[in-house]
Structure 1
């Protein structure tokens, strides 16, 4: 297909655009021969196409034609139907978005060889269409053509292209694009560097990701929240919790612009392996460093205490939450309910929940990365399913707890009957 497109590019490069015609007979004619009577009927049916001034109206006619016989459009154009510049670019994008890349390529070369002032959004949309189709080498060709004909657009095109390659995991092509951009004298700013880290975290190995982070550090750019979160997800995905802790310390736990994210992730790295003494020690270090624990901070500890059946520590954590004015969410309630029901202490639930407002409506405000590491508890999972099943009802924690306790009791009775 690429050889056909290259041949078409040579032909279309000689086509004038100033006469507002697209002479695409040679380029767009299908292998199938057209019936002249059929073409004459279609031309008569859409005779008002010549009179159209608005590009939107023109494109609506093009779309209506495509629903009937798309291959008749170039024949009608070759017969002398007039198109302005905005309609020409719209037609090119319409071809590209619908998979007719030979036709789109022909219009693209006609635009390049004209005096048309190319809009950056048109180029970016065209690149997106080729990326979606997997024609990556054609994307690189478009980038080269823009750098030659419209150099004032090349920086934006480079940034967009490496972002497109990164989002789909084409890291080698992303690296090549970045190197080419740097060779042209364009700087790599913090946003590009952090996006680079995000893509490597999603698609590369841990070793490759760590090397990418070293390159970012050598460029003296700080890794931002998105980059920190992406790298942490990669370590969690591979269960490299020790490496996660080392990474967070290297980033710097004292950074204020990241909020509690770094500390919460560090606590989570210890909670994942239930290193309770280290978890408690780092929590105290967090408070001493002047950071105020948030809901996620408390829930990380609460989940660990619940799974380890550390009731005293769990209640102290709830007292601390109440003292700091942190309102518990469904995850917090789940920690209490699961801890007591797992130990068959359901009768003590009222005592455990006495200082919590069970008449509140349930919400989930905890950072989802907690669930990736420690999962969701029984109460959390069953309540979430119930809330999704009956969204019209206004639930309270008390109602959810009552249903869950009844379900647990019934399952235990069935078990003992067997």
Structure 2
């Protein structure tokens, strides 16, 4: 109907625009039909049109059609450009077809199309995403020899894969490049680095990580978490007190993460005096306990602490009737592990039927009852 209104609308520009839009929306069958119709009007598809069709087919995993159109394009004396191959490489990476990526790069070079810095950066990200360190590092060395610029997304991909495999020195070297580039670092990446340090019992590195972050991006909750964990990980009372005093000087309020880090350290030291003091200060500090805090109290009870006063206070304040929440930074569990109470929570919860899990608002009172019932049941089964 649109074409019949005005025949002049049947032109290369309009078809190119429509095919591009259909490809972006993932409507590849419609894009291909439109592409064939364009040729039936004796209109010559441009490089951009071929790229839209080739990339669209490849994104949906239809590589046979993508390569068919690539060959057709060359028969039309249209030389593929780096963008043509980059779209194929990205699609191969999506489907974890890493050998095909290598063959695509070879074909690219044979056809006289030299990979540029965009292609090399793309290769680093795809190989890093697949955990192919040797291939990633080979591309990285090629870029260095050609003095090509590394994009921040490529550097971050390298840091992530080194962190994933716990390759500490290389992880730190590339991370320094990320910081020096001025790239804004997301908290998820910082946590991955911190997990490597924790797994290697290198708690002092957490302090340096936090200080580097604060010097570039300011004092954030994650920075305080890292710095506190660096002291709590080695059970340093003086170190934790120093961080708490620094927070007080800067008027930084406590949160669940700060409180739970300190209390977990005192629980590990079996320092019930300081544990009691910090539990009594929660409300005055404006911190509402979460499931980690509840777990600390019950785990302490198992080894001789009397937490009845704390539980009575929570019961009187109506806290135990509130919905269960986990507001503590996950790094805390990485550093201290899940306590006895939390492990029992998971076991008790997983023992329920799916409908019983979903059709209930879980309060702390309900969860505590469930854990005790499950524990008693487990004991009677052992007996």
Q: Mark yes or no: TM-score above 0.5.
A: yes
1:122: Cα distance to partner? 6.6
- Could you tell me which residue of structure 2 aligns to residue 193 of structure 1? 155
- Could you tell me which residue of structure 2 aligns to residue 39 of structure 1? none
1:123: Cα distance to partner? 4.6
- Could you tell me which residue of structure 2 aligns to residue 326 of structure 1? 287
Q: 1:266 to 1:58 in 2, by over 3 A?
A: closer
Residue 395 in structure 1 maps to residue 358 in structure 2: no
- Could you tell me which residue of structure 2 aligns to residue 138 of structure 1? 103
Residue 236 in structure 1 maps to residue 206 in structure 2: no
1:275: Cα distance to partner? 2.9
- Could you tell me which residue of structure 1 aligns to residue 174 of structure 2? 212
Deviations along 1:202-241, one digit per CA (max 9) or x if unpaired, are 2352122233334445x45367234432321221233322
- Could you tell me which residue of structure 2 aligns to residue 336 of structure 1? 297
1:94: Cα distance to partner? 4.8
- Could you tell me which residue of structure 2 aligns to residue 270 of structure 1? 231
Secondary structure at 1:324 match in 2: coil
- Could you tell me which residue of structure 2 aligns to residue 364 of structure 1? 326
Number of residues of Structure 1 aligned to a counterpart in Structure 2: 338
> Structure 2: which 5+ residue stretches go unaligned?
1-26, 34-39
- Could you tell me which residue of structure 1 aligns to residue 264 of structure 2? 303
1:181: Cα distance to partner? 5.1
1:112: Cα distance to partner? 4.9
1:1-40 matches, within 5 Å, as none
| In structure 1, C-alpha distance between the alignment counterparts of 2:58 and 2:184, rounded to whole Å | 40
| In structure 2, C-alpha distance between the alignment counterparts of 1:175 and 1:235, rounded to whole Å | 23
Q: Is the 8 A contact 2:324 2:362 kept in 1?
A: yes
Q: 1:144 to 1:275 in 2, by over 3 A?
A: farther
Higher relative contact order (CA 8 A, sep 6+): 1
| In structure 1, C-alpha distance between the alignment counterparts of 2:112 and 2:197, rounded to whole Å | 39
| In structure 1, C-alpha distance between the alignment counterparts of 2:119 and 2:361, rounded to whole Å | 50
Q: Is the 8 A contact 2:152 2:181 kept in 1?
A: no
Q: 1:394 to 1:262 in 2, by over 3 A?
A: same
Q: Is the 8 A contact 1:361 1:396 kept in 2?
A: yes
RMSD: 4.3
Secondary structure at 1:340 match in 2: helix
Q: 1:410 to 1:172 in 2, by over 3 A?
A: closer
Q: Is the 8 A contact 2:31 2:53 kept in 1?
A: no
1:62-101 matches, within 5 Å, as 90=53, 94=57
- Could you tell me which residue of structure 2 aligns to residue 282 of structure 1? 243
| In structure 1, C-alpha distance between the alignment counterparts of 2:210 and 2:197, rounded to whole Å | 11
Q: 1:260 to 1:146 in 2, by over 3 A?
A: farther
Tell me which structure has the larger Cα radius of gyration.
1
1:410: Cα distance to partner? 6.8
Q: Is the 8 A contact 2:298 2:341 kept in 1?
A: yes
| In structure 2, C-alpha distance between the alignment counterparts of 1:235 and 1:401, rounded to whole Å | 34
1:121: Cα distance to partner? 8.2
> Structure 1: which 5+ residue stretches go unaligned?
1-53, 61-79
Q: 1:127 to 1:189 in 2, by over 3 A?
A: closer
